[in-house]
Amino acid sequence: MTQESEDKKTAIISMLKGKSLLKQKIYDNMLQVFETLKDILREFARETNHTLSGSDSRIKLEFTDRGIFDAQVKIAGDILLFSMHSNIFLFDREHPVWKTHYVQQNKLNAYCGIINIYNFLADSFKYSRFDDIGYLIARIFINHEKQFIVEGKRQMGFQLSHFGTLSLDREVLTSIILTSVQYALEFDLLVPPYDTVKIATVGQAETKIQHSRIITGKRVGFQFNSDDVLAENRKKPDGV
């Protein structure tokens, strides 16, 4: 075996013992966190429904465990879907996380798993309106030390400066969940612009209008620049 081959073999072994092992540890952390998240959602639904005892059953919460990577809670007319990604990611070089002392100290700290939190309308699932839109209201990044970042709305209260100083324990996770629920309930469904629904085909009339399947989704004030993209698209002439 040549020296070049030996060097490559050594490099592979080093990566397996280093980065690959690190990713497995992050994945294990993610599974633990997600199980805790499910437990919090289950308990929150149970306690809230107890408080709502005697109220209209339509406003009661419904928790659903959808498997290893997904869980949801129905809250009146909203559904919050919590989805854990099965892979581990590294922040791109333009992300401000690289400017934190925590990551500059050890770049491996920038490897994270992700839990996405989406807001959908409950009727979108109830009536199988597959064209309806859900919105990413937050995403949680978790690394090998259970240090975390929350990207989403400002109301979360967890800034980038917390990365490396605050572990994602049950109390913090509860705060993230409750803030997400409150945020989803505070924003209402807006009437779609007239020009986007002024024309309909016969097929749409049969398959959508008849069954209230006009594409529907909340317009929520996210930080993700998605608002900017939508605004920019509105400026473009039809057909562009």
* Each residue's pLDDT tens digit, 100-125: 999 999 999 999 999 999 999 888 88
pTM for the model: 0.79
Token readout for 81 is 């879907």
Report yes or no: 123 and 129 within 8 Å, Cβ to Cβ: yes
- Of the candidates 91, 151, 90, 88, the residue with the CA atom closest to the CA atom of residue 116: 151
Residue-wise pLDDT for 124-148, tens only, equals 888 887 778 888 889 999 999 999 9
Scanning the chain, the segments in alpha helix (DSSP H) are 3-15, 21-51, 101-105, 122-126, 170-186, 194-197, 202-207, 226-235
pLDDT at 228: 34
Q: Using the structure block, give the residue that is written with the tokens 């040549």.
A: 2
Selected residue with higher pLDDT from 204 and 102:
102
Selected residue with higher pLDDT from 69 and 152:
69
Q: What is the mean pLDDT of residues 24-32?
A: 96
pLDDT at 154: 53
- Of the candidates 12, 1, 82, 9, the residue with the CA atom closest to the CA atom of residue 41: 82
Q: What is the mean pLDDT of residues 32-52?
A: 96
pLDDT exceeds 60 at position 78: yes
Q: How far is CA 20 from CA 7, 33, 36, 69, 186, in A?
A: 18, 20, 25, 21, 42
pLDDT at 156: 60
Average pLDDT, the chain: 81
